[in-house]
Amino acid sequence: MKDKGQNTLPADVYLSFVSSLYGNRQTLFVGMISHVITFSFVYAKTADPFFLIWSGLVVLIWSMRAIGMRHFDRVDQSTLDMDGIRYWENWYNLGAVGTTLALGTSCGYALLFSRDSFAELATIAVTLATMVSVVGRNCGSKRAVDYMTFSACFPMVVGFLGLQDFYHAVLAVLILPFVMTTRMMANGVRDFLYRNVLATREVSIIADRFDTALNNMPHGLFMLDADHRILVANRRACELLHLGNQERLKDCHLDVVLRFGVRNTFVNAEQSKTILRRLDELLKGDRSRALIQVTDGLYLEFTASPRENGGAVLIFEDVTARVRAENKILHMVRYDSLTGLPNRTYFADLVQEALAERKKPGTVGFMVLDVDDFKHVNDMKGHVTGDRLLCAITERLRRLAGDKMIAGHLMGDEFIVFFPNEANRRDLETRMHRFHEQLRGNYEFDGMTFLVSFSAGCVTVPSGDFRLEEMQIRADLALFETKSRAKGSVTVFEQEMDARYTDRQKLKDDLRDALANNTLSVAYQPMFVPDGSSIECCEALSRWTHPERGPVPPTVFIQIAEEMGIVSDITRFMVMRACADCATWPAHMGVSVNLSVQDLRGNGIIGLVAEALEAANLAPHRLHLEVTESCLMEEPVKVQAILQELRARGITIAIDDFGTGYSSLSYLDQLPLDVIKIDRSFVRNIGEDPRRFKLLRGTVNLSRELGLRIVVEGVETREQLALINKYQCADLVQGYVFAAPMSPDALRDLYETLARKPGDSRRRGRRVA
């Protein structure tokens, strides 16, 4: 503990420390007796009158200290200020230091003058034994510890050094760790005492605040022990049940108290039994809430929270107004006929009631949940099974929501949940993510098991700003983000989503116009032989320059095209344009076109390739078609058949971005492949990371054993290229080290330049674009 100092300690803490110095006085008397006996025996052994005199000095010091302590007892400590407390600390320290100084001096005298081994051993032993008590008895004063330690040990050190002997000098030095340890131990005990005093004071303050809060809360509260005896009752509980003075209820059994209370509210014996039975069910955990009609004009809602020791906290409140409001709308249709959850109208009413019940502002949340691929269940298993699945989801949803959330059925496979009563947005979002995680999983009924995931969108707002219509729009936008970016997860609404959604819809219309008007373009990235002397193939890359936005990244408009279901139109444009351009290139050069998942869902790609080759009069082997591992996961058998048909027609088949998906090695054996394009992630840092380079070489060796050609993508530096060439890791190299994607005209200039300089391989090895 950092020393607080006598001027910085709170007065009550300082006084408690000083008071501890004057306590347990029997130890002082026992110590004095042991000192006198020790000095007497030393005198008897040595006949040195010094020890006899010192024995009397110890008795005198003890007597003075005893007188001072009796004076301290007579002082009204509540009137002491800081100076008064310091006075009594100094008085104690004077006597304590006198005692230790007498002991230390006796040690030094025995070492320097007596030279009797028994005298030396006895005086040192009794002095060190006294120093041990410093930690426990005198820790309340840092100065007392320091002064007593110094006054006891310094004469001893002088005595050892005065003997002018090496081994005694070593003993003198070893006194220092003893001094330091004593101080550290005393400081540790004082720190503990300081924290304990502060904790006691804090507990007292908290207890007072708790009592104030308890008696001013709008809820009635009983805190019960394991035998249902009342430990604490607040003022509101006594008012609601007409129980009189709350102090009289302590240690009374709950049944007795409630019987007395309901008897004073004109409840008959049968009603009394019903109330007690329902409260007993609540306390046993058979129900989470108990709404009890005490009289015609009083409804109380009870909740119970179990305590670790077997007791419980029983909280109840007057909910008469809420019950009356609910009774007015009982005739309305509130619940969905299939799931039994509140429909949208009643859900809105429940949310409004929840908001009205809030005692103070906070953060609330709203979530829309959509069952992923529910249409697939209806199509494959029938609508009856789909309905039963929705009912199973409802059961879990209701169980998770409990009485802390409000769940509803929006329509079809969409559910809505309202999250009230959170202090801040971060806690609420954590709660929403946990709720979403608990809802997903296996659902079993009628001997069938369904693994169900949910895409969700949610929004959090201050409770005073909650508007259901507006919140649903925002949650739907967040749900759209989930479905487009991370299906099966949950997305929290951000303000920019609104503008982004509008912008995305506009971009969809513009992309459809661009395809209709044939305004897309193609860029080509060459694939070089490893020494850079020639180009063997070029990858065709789609480009879209928006008239207002400028260039739109392919990762953006390709994803939009997939959402719109028109990516195959882009593929058609790319295949036709690539074949037409390749026909104008030198005969040894080919062109590579990427296929999407949608392109491989039917046989239309086969007819498209045949049409493009015929229109361009291009040899089939010059066309390379690239597929990624994601294309192979939905219907692998069907995709394999399509690729085999294309390869049988002479088309070169390549697997792109190898190593970034799942089960990569199995595809090398199962699919009709000619080329493997190793993803750039295998090339990154191969010069600095030997393990990454070993992985690259291992993949290359395995692929070559299967008769596949190797294209290494993403080669950006000459160091990477040199390492790849040194170990012959590539048949073709694609990357910025040679060329970036370029226009058809730039590509023509490049291969013509290379053709004119067949021997200048060094210059061809540097980046040319």
Mean pLDDT of 473-486: 85
Assigned domain for 592 exists:
yes
Single out the residue in 309, 325, 341 at which a domain terminates: 325
Whole-number pLDDT of residue 667: 66
Mean pLDDT of 513-535: 92
Pairing of strands 414-422, 406-411: antiparallel
Q: Tokens for 156, please give them.
A: 């001893």
Residues 191 and 238 in one domain: no
Helix, strand and coil percent figures for the chain, each rounded to 5? 60, 20, 25
Residues 699 and 592 in one domain: yes
Whole-number pLDDT of residue 308: 77
Lowest mean pLDDT among 61-75, 331-345, 483-497: 331-345
153 pLDDT higher than 90: no
Q: What percent of the chain lies above the pLDDT cut of 90?
A: 22
Mean pLDDT of 386-391: 90
Residues 653 and 741 in one domain: yes
Mean pLDDT, all residues of the chain: 83
Most confident of 210-224, 312-326, 584-598: 584-598
Domain with residue 274: its CATH number is: 3.30.450.20
Q: Tokens for 698, please give them.
A: 């291992």
The CB density around residue 562, as the number of other CB atoms within 10 Å, is: 16
Residues 596 and 713 in one domain: yes
Which H/E stretch holds residue 544? Answer: strand 535-546
Q: What's the pLDDT tens digit per position in 86-123?
A: 888 788 888 888 888 888 888 888 888 887 888 888 88
Assigned domain for 513 exists:
no
Pairing of strands 623-627, 550-552: unpaired
Quickly tell me which residue has 């039917």 as its tokens.
Answer: 602
Could you give the strand order of the β-sheet that contains 220-224, starting from the edge strand earlier in sequence? 230-233, 220-224, 312-318, 298-306, 289-295
Assigned domain for 768 exists:
no
Whole-number pLDDT of residue 161: 85
Whole-number pLDDT of residue 264: 58
Residues 479 and 440 in one domain: yes
Does residue 675 sit in helix, strand or coil? strand
Whole-number pLDDT of residue 2: 42
Whole-number pLDDT of residue 136: 67
577 pLDDT higher than 90: yes
The answer to whether 11 and 85 are in contact (CB under 8 A) is: yes
650 dihedral zone (left: phi>0; alpha: psi -120 to 50; beta) = left
762 pLDDT higher than 60: no
Number of domains into which the chain is organized = 4
Residues 649 and 727 in one domain: yes
Does residue 233 sit in helix, strand or coil? strand
212 pLDDT band, cuts 50/70/90, is confident
Domain with residue 348: its CATH number is: 3.30.70.270
Q: What residue numbers bound the domain in which 388 lies?
A: 332-494
472 pLDDT higher than 70: yes
Assigned domain for 80 exists:
yes
Residues 436 and 461 in one domain: yes
769 pLDDT higher than 50: no
Assigned domain for 212 exists:
no
742 pLDDT higher than 90: yes
Whole-number pLDDT of residue 269: 61
231 pLDDT higher than 90: no
Q: Name beta bridge partners: 591.
A: 538, 623
Cα 389 to Cα 369: distance, rounded to the nearest angstrom: 15
Q: Is the model more confident about 455 or about 94? A: 455
CA 525, 527, 530, 536 torsion-angle sign: negative
Residues 316 and 336 in one domain: no
741 pLDDT band, cuts 50/70/90, is very high
The answer to whether 642 and 611 are in contact (CB under 8 A) is: no
Mean pLDDT of 553-579: 90
From 758, 767, 762, 687, select the one nearest 525 (Cα to Cα): 767
Whole-number pLDDT of residue 113: 86
Assigned domain for 656 exists:
yes
Assigned domain for 289 exists:
yes
Q: What's the pLDDT tens digit per position in 278-334?
A: 777 777 777 778 787 777 777 888 888 887 777 888 888 888 888 777 766 654 567
Single out the residue in 298, 325, 352 at which a domain terminates: 325
Q: Tokens for 682, please give them.
A: 């295998």
List the Cα angle 14/18/24 in 5-degree steps.
145
pTM for this model (two decimals): 0.48
**DSSP conformation letters of 740-761:** --B-HHHHHHHHHHHHH-TT-H
Whole-number pLDDT of residue 617: 95
Residues 463 and 569 in one domain: no
614 pLDDT band, cuts 50/70/90, is very high
Residues 435 and 538 in one domain: no
Single out the residue in 299, 325, 351 at which a domain terminates: 325
Q: What's the pLDDT tens digit per position in 637-670?
A: 888 889 999 999 999 999 887 766 554 566 677 7
Domain with residue 671: its CATH number is: 3.20.20.450
Q: Is the model more confident about 12 or about 529? A: 529
Assigned domain for 584 exists:
yes
Which ranges constitute the DSSP H helices of 47-81?
A: 49-74
Residues 459 and 592 in one domain: no
Residues 194 and 279 in one domain: no
